[in-house]
Structure 1
């Protein structure tokens, strides 16, 4: 395609965004030339946040249960090449009910596969990208993942599995696994068969998945660069201009400190009396039926969660110079920053809805890294813009 001035332009990669949430997959991939032409989520509040950042969502975003989506609805999309799916993790998470793919929420994987199956081979996306928690790999002794890979293989895809912790990009520990499915005709020349060597994107438990399934399911892998070294503290994500009124009063801070275990209090005091200002995040935990606060050992955030109650929200603690400690809940802007969505506009929904949306989303930098080093080399092998 020739653009203005005779400059060669790469044709956009048309994508469908299943379980789109607030749109962070789009935020990640759009700068790489991906154009979302269809999106779906069941939550109206998430759609409102998505539309506030991408007004064209009014034309292509379907707010509905995926069980009501049929493949025919996507057949009119021009050259659909990519489908992404961040299907619910609640039944797969170690913190969830572990019902796996028979669960009401995580079982929506089968609906995603059904929609792909209803699309003819001529319009089925060339590549699919799925994201979920590490618990997917161990659910029902690993059988859920094997069944999912087999279903995608039946649809014609060759599969690869990756594991990436967001801490390589942002100051948040957020380990996630990804499945990349590629139609065989689109596998690049440098795609390998067999079991990949252990690396930071394919730790031993991932290579074991390849070894277990390679004789039953078409699988491949691509060589990928090492992950970057991520930030080691929260300095780049804190909303320093947050209202002073958000900081808790002395009585509430005292209750926070009093709830700490002996070991936690030693850590707290060491940071409070140090000659440097530091920030830590904290979660409420229930230990032997007692609600307690726990201060994170390192200086990055724990994994953000959907806000279903106080125990799922993350607090920010300011300590140092022997001063009185300060504690408050993290803000929606800080959640956005921790998800790599630093430019995301917080103009829709309540603060709690915003926290929920980010806690249920993908980290922008992680998906963009996959897009640059995996999706583009497959879908646009001659495009050097992502290098």
Structure 2
């Protein structure tokens, strides 16, 4: 999971903070790390709190393009080859998806596993409506494939860059680099937009508004809209 540190100046009111850690924002690992801090840092520590965000209304399958750009559906032989690389456990997942009665989309990765002391490449799929990690080439992992199961029909291919952008909360009009690797690197190294927006709305913006109202920090006289227009004009 991502870890966010949000620091404010001492004279700014710590909006949305508590004296003690709370779930789900502060995990046991974070609390343990806090307890190992020097006393002066512990005294200035702020436990930020926010409302629980609304549950997502879309499924993984809703983000998948029927006619993807930049990638092609595998041939029947290529899909069969992937299935042949699956263990009994993963093949059972595919059979369960076939019987679901709705189109199921699973994220699939090729993994190296040890079997009887021998390295073997396996195809591992998940149908829990959660995509696998969008790892960049530097992450040392294979690129994510998708397996689409609709009754007895099974298709597979590389996940498209637009689909990775959708997973990160980017709108379809967001510009992506033209090459696959560059676009995948952008989304794989990015931060989910809805997450940042939730933090901004509930922590950062209240602090900024308080600072502005009490003249604690000097802000540009131009409005946000004017500044945004100026930035766009430079592109």
Give the TM-score taking structure 2 as reference length.
0.78
Aligned to 1:215: 39
Aligned to 1:363: 192
- Residue 214 (structure 2) pairs with residue 373 (structure 1): no
Aligned residues: 206
Paired residues of 2:70 and 2:160 also in contact (CA < 8 A)? no
| Structure 1 segment 83-232 matched on structure 2, within 5 A | 175-188=1-14, 191-193=17-19, 195-196=20-21, 198-213=22-37, 215-217=39-41, 218-231=44-57
- Which range is displaced more, 249-258 or 374-383? 374-383
Q: 1:319 aligns with which of 149, 165, 171?
A: 149
- The Cα shift of 1:224 comes to 1.6
- Residue 139 (structure 2) pairs with residue 333 (structure 1): no
Paired residues of 1:316 and 1:330 also in contact (CA < 8 A)? yes
Distance 2:174 2:133 in 1: 19
Query: Which secondary structure does the structure 2 equivalent of 1:312 belong to?
Result: coil
Paired residues of 1:188 and 1:377 also in contact (CA < 8 A)? no
- The Cα shift of 1:309 comes to 8.9
Deviation sequence 1:122-153 (CA, Å, 0-9, x none):
xxxxxxxxxxxxxxxxxxxxxxxxxxxxxxxx
Deviation sequence 1:26-49 (CA, Å, 0-9, x none):
xxxxxxxxxxxxxxxxxxxxxxxx
Distance 2:81 2:64 in 1: 24
- Which range is displaced more, 225-234 or 366-375? 225-234
Give the TM-score taking structure 1 as reference length.
0.49
Distance 1:201 1:228 in 2: 15
Aligned to 2:73: 247
Paired residues of 1:232 and 1:299 also in contact (CA < 8 A)? no
Distance 1:192 1:278 in 2: 42
Deviation sequence 1:243-293 (CA, Å, 0-9, x none):
697110111111100000011111112212442211111111110121111
Deviation sequence 1:331-380 (CA, Å, 0-9, x none):
0100110111123112x341121111111111111111111111111111
- The Cα shift of 1:204 comes to 2.5
- Residue 97 (structure 2) pairs with residue 267 (structure 1): no
Q: 1:256 aligns with which of 67, 82, 85?
A: 82
Alpha carbons of structure 1 residues 225 and 240: separation in structure 2 relative to 1, 3 Å: same
Aligned to 2:221: none
Considering Cα pairs closer than 8 Å and 6+ residues apart, tell me whether 1 or 2 has the greater RCO: 2
The unaligned stretches of length 5 or more in structure 2 are 213-235
Query: Which secondary structure does the structure 1 equivalent of 2:170 belong to?
Result: coil
Alpha carbons of structure 1 residues 369 and 243: separation in structure 2 relative to 1, 3 Å: closer
